[in-house]
Amino acid sequence: MSEIDPGRSFVCVGVAVLTISDTRTLQTDTSGQVLADGVNTLGHRLIERAWVTDDVEQIQATLRAWIARDDISIILTTGGTGITRRDVTPEAVSELIDKPIDGFGELFRWLSYSSVGTSTIQSRALAGVAEQTLIFALPGSSGACRDAWQGILVSQLDSRHRPCNFIELLPRL
């Protein structure tokens, strides 16, 4: 069973949150706020929060700029992971990923099943490593972001989590 090891120190890293939507703005985006609040509550630094439309070039331009920064180790995106014509986040992110983390999407959909039932099959949530940066692409609903944060990310982005976590792997990416 996983747990927080009180004998280990918390390691703070820089995180960026990108909202991808044609219908929301940064001001009306509740899912990005869920992620930003989680980052701050856990104790990481929210370096940047931005919004772009469902456009591959805009998504990739923002991600490339953040991947190139030394102060951003983790990127969380929200939105555009469905199956409609405008949902292009997985395609945009996948082109930048060097190593996919397949288990993230699998676990997210498994956890999401208890909230939305079989509708979870429509999610194309994914994660991977792009150079030395971890990217997690989440659906645009605040409930989905809450499920992903509470069910996966809060522990995997905590250096005290045992038996292992993503933060301890960052120096070796």
Q: What's the predicted TM-score (pTM) here?
A: 0.96
Residue that is written with structure tokens 């397949």 in the block: 102
Q: Where would I find the beta strands (DSSP E) of 61-155?
A: 74-78, 99-100, 126-130, 133-138
Give tens-digit pLDDT for 132-148: 999 999 999 999 999 99
What is the mean pLDDT of the segment spanning 75-98?
A: 97
Range in 1-5, 104-108, 155-159, 160-164 the model is least confident about: 1-5
Domain residue ranges in the chain: 7-172
**Per CATH, is 7-172 categorized as 1.10.260.40?**
no
In the prediction, which pLDDT does 128 show?
98
The stretch 95-111 carries a mean pLDDT of 97
pLDDT at 26: 83
Measured CA to CA, the distance from residue 105 to residue 128 in angstroms comes to: 10
Whole-angstrom distance, CA of residue 90 vs CA of residue 96: 10
Average pLDDT, whole number, for the chain?
Answer: 96
Among the listed residues 61, 47, 51, 62, the one whose alpha carbon sits nearest the alpha carbon of residue 19: 51
